[in-house]
């Protein structure tokens, strides 16, 4: 019983610092791209690394805070590389 309580506290701490845990490619695609139909692209290993995703059992998972910060960093880097172009947010 004590082991369960310790794990529950750890999950609450991680959720508070990293944001909500999203399970499943469709939920992550809806959050990251505002397009649930792009869920297949999340199984690309390079994209998983870029967005900070991981496998939880047989499902793709990721934290909203990590996904958002990685996407913001990519937009910032793209704007720095081409400052004269406009990028939609």
| pLDDT tens, residue by residue, 22-50 | 999 999 999 998 988 888 888 887 788 88
pLDDT of residue 69: 92
Q: What CA–CA distance (Å, rounded) separates 8 from 48? A: 26
* Average pLDDT rounded to a whole number, residues 66-75: 90
pLDDT of residue 2: 47
Strand 54-56's sheet: what is its strand order?
21-23, 59-63, 54-56
Residue pair 61/15 in contact (Cβ under 8 Å)? The answer is: no
Q: Which helix or strand (DSSP H or E) is residue 50 part of?
A: helix 45-51
Check residues 65 and 11 and name the one with the higher pLDDT. Answer: 65
Q: What CA–CA distance (Å, rounded) separates 12 from 20? A: 10
């Amino acid at each position: 019983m004590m082991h369960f309580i310790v794990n529950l506290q750890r999950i609450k701490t991680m959720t508070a610092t990293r944001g909500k845990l999203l399970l499943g490619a469709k939920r992550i695609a809806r959050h990251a791209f505002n397009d649930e139909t792009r869920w297949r692209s999340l199984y690309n290993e390079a994209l998983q690394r870029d967005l900070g995703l991981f496998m939880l059992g047989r499902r793709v998972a990721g934290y909203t805070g990590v996904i958002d910060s990685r996407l913001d960093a990519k937009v910032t880097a793209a704007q720095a590389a081409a400052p004269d172009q406009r990028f939609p947010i």
